[in-house]
Chains A and B, each alone.
Chain A
Amino acid sequence: MIALNRNLLSRAVIGSCLATAAGVIQIHTADAAPSTVTAAGVTLTSESVILPGSSETFPGGAAAQVVNVNCIACHSADMILNQPALSKVAWQAEVTKMIKLYKAPVNETDVPAIVDYLANMKPQP
């Protein structure tokens, strides 16, 4: 299965894409075999893969707009939606960390609304 996946995904150019019921994306192509390097008895084969993206947004309609605009450029929404309930102080610290340390381009005037949204999330059980 590993070898099969590698073969399927190593082919450089996107051919047809097929999403199975299980969500597996397999890429079928008929181009040449990927390049390799062999030395001292080991062969390494070039890789070409496609990493899944995410179009998930935050629930809550208009109130979620501010997090949808500011909080999913560097990471997908699931990062936040998987967090436990955190205090407003803790969420303020997270947002400040993203801006000051990770240099996230967040409009300062959006910060109170972002923190409010995050602190009012109701984490799933």
Chain B
Amino acid sequence: MVETFPTSYSRGRRHFVGSAAALGAVMMSSVRAARAENMITLPFPEGPRSRPLTTAFPNKGEMILQRIRPPLLETPFEVFDQGILTPNDQFFVRWHLASIPQQIDVTTFRLMVGGHVNRPLSLSLSEVLELPRVELVAVNQCSGNSRGFFQPRVPGGEWGNGAMGNARWTGFRLRDLLDRAGVKAGAVQVQFNGLDGPTFPATPDFKKSLSIDHARDGEVIVAYLMNGEQMPLLNGFPLRLIVPGWYSTYWVKMLSHIEVLDRPDDNFWMKTAYRIPDTPGANVSPTETGYKTTPINRMLPRSFVTNLKTGDNVKAGATIDVRGIAFGGDCGVKNVGLSTDGGVTWITTKLGVNEGKYSFRGWRARVGVPASGVLTLSVRCTNTQGETQSWTPNWNPGGYMRNSIETTVLNIV
């Protein structure tokens, strides 16, 4: 029941011979050699656990470097202790294809709407800004967040728990845009494409689709501000699709083309990639085959302790503050329970500010520290639909949708 890896997210400095100045202008040459670099250890069941910390990406502060190109940048977990909104400069980054525009001219950018519509559109950003404005706080979480904890391990981006973030998104309703274009009868799905592209033309371009009803539900928005500022290029500048409650794969970055379809989207990224077992919690046994799959979709509840980490010391007999974050998935947080006895009893924690059902929700509790041994803190979110986190982690070959109960183990001194 209890997390058995004593190593927590620990930092250290690894020294190398040479200097950064010896590198070329923007080549982050050999991340494993030739320069002094901060490293972080991710508490995976087995290695590689070590990752560089980097500040080399534009408009980004310190991030965990999972992959240089195309960038996979993870949010250092302590950032989540600073508040329920994740700062733009430490918000995680995930690109699939390596051809990413490095210049965006706001005066020439166009958002195109076409396909099964009466009036195809090509909107300038000033026209986009004039559309009725809405604002929403929502969690953006990678389908494979926490993949590195899967056992048996699976290939993919080996994320810790930091491939998620929560931001206030400002933009316009997708529905308003689709209404302006006039969706024709018989529309089935809406497909989204961004300005990124593959290295080789034959590689499938990254496109995602939502059902027409989902696209028109009034909650899916196209954002141009993130926490009140234009978003970093790496988070999708100038426009990003926001699909509250659904995994990040649908939140298409640098959104430039919207195509209304009169047939189900059979492109690679819907038909083949990002498929999950069509089972509760996307859970199958590692030896299972032949099960039905479906495109990944809504998120599940999760919760984390943010002010303490496994391996931290606490004083015998003290009373400590424990705090963290939770989210319901595609609905709000009903409650967050904290257990110090492996789930025999649960303390109901005090919930923080409610920024809406798609946001992180802060929680806190006071816990008495026993006289000796270890103190285990297990945290469990139940959402407003009554779904709760389970002790047993799910497993699937994609490493998707991990949401089991997290346990932090503290040393009593």
Contact = CB atoms under 8 A, between A and B. Distances in A.
A51 B59 contact: no
Interface in B53-89: 54-61, 65-72, 87-89
Contacts of A53: 26-28, 68-69
B126 A38 contact: yes
A85 B29 CA distance: 24
A49 B230 contact: no
A69 B396 CA distance: 32
A125 B23 CA distance: 27
B104 A46 contact: yes
Interface stretch (B30-38, B245-253, B351-359): B30-38
A50 B234 CA distance: 11
Interface string A42-67: 10111111111111110000000000
B200 A74 contact: yes
A123 B92 CA distance: 25
Interface residues of A, number: 58
Interface of B is mostly: loop
B235 to A, nearest CB: 11
Contacts of A48: 102-104
A90 interface: yes
B253 to A, nearest CB: 13
B29 A54 contact: yes
B56 A37 contact: no
A40 B129 contact: yes
B27 A44 contact: no
Contacts of B47: 84, 123-125
A22 B89 contact: no
Contacts of B158: 82-84
Interface string B151-180: 001010110000000000010000000000
A75 B69 contact: yes
Nearest to B107: A35
A78 interface: yes
Interface string A29-44: 0000001111110101
B155 A51 contact: no
Interface in B174-199: 198-199
Contact of B35 (A23, A44, A94): A23
Contact of B238 (A2, A25, A44, A81): A44
- Interface-central residue, A23, A46, A76, by most chain B CB under 10 Å: A23
Contact of B21 (A9, A19, A55): A19
B106 interface: yes
Contacts of A23: 20, 28, 35, 37, 54-56
Given A94-B155, A101-B272, A24 B106 contact: no
A78 B68 contact: yes
B29 A56 contact: yes
A75 B21 CA distance: 25
A83 B126 CA distance: 44
Interface in B227-256: 229-230, 233-234, 237-238
B103 A12 contact: yes
Contacts of A45: 106, 230
Nearest to B105: A46
Contacts of A56: 29-32, 68
A78 B129 contact: no
Contact of B20 (A22, A36, A50): A22
A101 B272 CA distance: 9
B25 A51 contact: no
21 contacts: A12-B103, A17-B26, A22-B20, A44-B224, A45-B106, A47-B103, A49-B102, A50-B25, A50-B58, A51-B26, A51-B102, A52-B54, A52-B56, A54-B28, A73-B199, A75-B70, A78-B65, A84-B148, A104-B203, A124-B47, A125-B46
Interface of A: 1-2, 5-6, 9, 12, 14, 17, 19-25, 35-40, 42, 44-57, 73-76, 78-79, 81-86, 90, 94, 101-105, 123-125
Closest 9 CB pairs of A and B: A49-B58, A103-B202, A39-B129, A84-B153, A54-B68, A39-B126, A17-B25, A52-B28, A76-B68
